[in-house]
Amino acid sequence: MKRILIIGSMNMDFVFQVHHMPAVGETVLTGDLTFIPGGKGANQAYAAGKLGGNVAMLGAVGDDEHGRSLCDNLASVGVDVSQIRRVQGVSTGVAFIGVNAEGNNSIIVVQGANRCVDQAYLEENHSLLEACDIVVMQLEIPLDSVMYAAKEAKRLGKTVILDPAPAVRLPEELYQNVDIVKPNEVELGELLGDPEAHRRLEESCKRLLDLGAKNVIVTLGGEGCCLCREDGQCKRFYADKTVKVVDTTAAGDSFTAAIALALAEDRSLEEAVEFATKVSNIVVTRKGAQTSIPSRDEVK
């Protein structure tokens, strides 16, 4: 199996259930609070590890209990955490996640140690970049670090997957070093500066291809996803409508991790998308981030 390197964020999630998301100036009461390991990078590493991948993680945590817990949780599913940075005097990143009655979420992230995933740290761990076959990144660490890692990975002939969240307008140079970019429908609009981009799905995907991305996968929640390849061919994949959604936290992260894992097993991109759809269909039926991720035996 090919080796996967996840470069990204590590957060402790503070998850609370709400009847509805608060409007500006509104106070909403809730009766429960759960601490769950999270962060987009850590979620993806945990998912790839639990699904049976050969996975290493580069990220940063504070020298605190939350950081130790996050590293221990990744190690429990076989992720190599030996080079995760422990930063003195900086707190581990945290995320405040509200989940409403329909299972949808809103998230506020305090970056903390995630800001310390800088180019110097990545250069110190260049051997991991050399040893892997697939590199997966997100945007909860400094953009300069993402740019460096993507360019260096492509120079080394690696497959680069970018989960562009939280989405911002990105330089063309980054797209040109990415093999797969995977926004959701909201992020697609942010990337293109067009809130209605999802209504012209194939056209919008092809705009990202024109910017330099080799393949685009847009996830559409309960409507599945759309894959547009570098040859301009697009294909829709549909989610299981019978699934009862409990919590969508980490559904996108698990989808990304499953794509990487399937490619590490030398499956085609279409097969990888089908596998990832099955994984995310399970994740949304469970609460939390890493707590919701299935084992390989659970994915039929």
Is 137 annotated as ligand-binding? no
CA distance 166 to 242: 29
Catalytic pick among 80, 133, 163, 253: 253
Is 104 annotated as ligand-binding? no
Angle at 167 between CA 211 and CA 158, to 5 degrees: 55
Residue 13 β-bridge partners: 36, 95
Is there a catalytic annotation at residue 253? Answer: yes
Is 292 annotated as ligand-binding? yes
DSSP run (H or E) holding 50: helix 40-50
**Contacts (Cβ under 8 Å, ≥6 apart) of 124:** none
Is 41 annotated as ligand-binding? yes
Is 93 annotated as ligand-binding? no
Three-class SS of residue 19?
coil
Is 31 annotated as ligand-binding? no
**Contacts (Cβ under 8 Å, ≥6 apart) of 233:** none
DSSP-assigned states of every residue in 195-207: TTGGGGHHHHHHH
Is 202 annotated as ligand-binding? no
Is 39 annotated as ligand-binding? yes
Is 23 annotated as ligand-binding? no
CA distance 91 to 116: 11
Residues tagged in the binding site annotation for ATP: 184, 219-224, 252-253
* Catalytic site positions: 253
Residues tagged in the binding site annotation for substrate: 11-13, 39-43, 140, 253
Residues tagged in the binding site annotation: 11-13, 39-43, 140, 184, 219-224, 247, 249, 252-253, 283, 286, 288, 292
